[in-house]
Amino acid sequence: MGSFSAIEPGTDLSRHARDLVRMHDAVIGGGRSPLQPRAVVQRSWRRVLGSGLNPDGTNARALLSIDDVERRRRSTPLADVIVELEQVISAVADVSHLLMVVTDADGVILWRSGSAKVRSRADSLGFREGAVWTESAVGTNAIGTAIAEVAPVQLFSGEHFEQSQHPWYCTAAPIHDPRTGELLGVVDVSGPALTLHPTIAALVETAVRLAQAQLWRHHETRLERLRSSAAPLLASLSGPVLLVDDNGWVAHTSGVAATKRIAAPRGDRALTIPGLGLCTPERIADGWLVRPAGAAVQIAMDLDLSGPPVVTVTGTEATWRTPLSGRHAEILLLLQRAGTRGLSVTDLSSGIYGDPDHAVAVRAEISRLRRVLGSVVDGRPYRLADSVQLSLTLGDAERLADCAFVRQSASPAVRALAGN
């Protein structure tokens, strides 16, 4: 624990702070210093120096409105665990002269608690609810740098970019959604630099583990509540069925191999579920019943590339249109050209990015595409679902080779369709 600490046990904090301030002034000023910044600090300074921020004081702070902060609080899952997080430091906050802040994934401070005396000092620094503490806004700081590095960060005194932050230490670690790995926000513990203790890093790590464990328990509780409320209806049904929440997390399965999650259901569109085929979602209470729509049902999908990509889908009972990102349009186009043989994750990585080393990015894009269109793409290999018929609209272009979208694509495999 605490492997990201900025100090070692027994460090003379006053001397180390003076050394770091001298290092900061020399390195940021383009000179030489016998003491070199740690790798994480060096990377951050390199990013920040290109942003136009001034290291000699405090850069302008922009505060979000109270209404915007409240809206962000309501929309983040971290609202479910903020009480537990505050309890982690409540017993030691005043005596240890520290603050804990919790931000969302954008680096906006949503909650702040701790020593009243230190809160007052933090106000003058703009370190308060509604402030944005990304690197691009306030320079190298533990919150912004933890977001940039996607890793825990501790900074001490002169390791901060702004001189006004040199009297402080800050220790931050990202909180991720335990279900998806998505970044939810950051927990940060900060205080006067000369009060930094080697155990602070472990305290922050403990807070993050607690938050992620609590988030998982809240998730399981919600699924159990959904199962209980739907139990009488489920008992009356025959045939395969899934019971899922609004985000597609599966609370119950019957007649189909268990799965953890499907695409988030929408009332206006069908879903293709591996093992069930084309399905229709039915709203019940706080979730959805998902059942097969029938073997003869097909989804007709048209990808319009005559301008910004748009998909038109005709399902069982409704027709709807939705814009697509260029990347998602490229994926659909390549899968349509591949036909039933499909494409492996390596094939798609090479086709989209030009090399086979972007498998993680490909899987993430497929996941996002399924959230937009439903589960129209099967896996292993990736291919359009059997129930999906995809056609293309090219506008004035008579051939793919003449289509501006194809010719200007960043994807090597898509450009190859135009002979580029």
263 neighbors 371 (Cβ within 8 angstroms): yes
Domain shared by 194 and 262, yes or no = no
Q: Is residue 368 part of a domain?
A: yes
Strand pairing class (299-304; 109-114): unpaired
Domain shared by 382 and 278, yes or no = no
Q: Is residue 362 part of a domain?
A: yes
Please say if the pLDDT value at position 249 is more than 70: yes
Q: What is the DSSP string of 374-391?
A: -S-EETTTBEE-TTEEEE
Domain shared by 304 and 269, yes or no = no
Domain shared by 40 and 154, yes or no = yes
405 confidence band (pLDDT: 50, 70, 90): very high
Helix %, strand %, coil % of the chain (to 5): 40, 25, 35
Q: Is residue 6 part of a domain?
A: no
Domain boundary residue among 185, 217, 249?
A: 217
pLDDT of residue 272: 73
Q: Is residue 18 part of a domain?
A: yes
Domain shared by 24 and 132, yes or no = yes
298 or 45: which carries more pLDDT confidence? 45
Number of folded domains in the chain? 3
pLDDT of residue 331: 94
Q: Is residue 227 part of a domain?
A: no
In terms of pTM, does the model score above 0.85? no
| Calpha distance 383→334 (Å, rounded) | 9
Domain shared by 51 and 197, yes or no = yes
Domain shared by 184 and 49, yes or no = yes
Region of poorest pLDDT, from 199-213, 250-264, 271-285, 388-402: 271-285
Residue 207 sits in a domain whose CATH number is 3.30.450.40
Q: Is residue 251 part of a domain?
A: yes
Q: Is residue 171 part of a domain?
A: yes
pLDDT of residue 370: 77
Please say if the pLDDT value at position 293 is more than 80: no
The parent domain of residue 320 ranges over 299-416
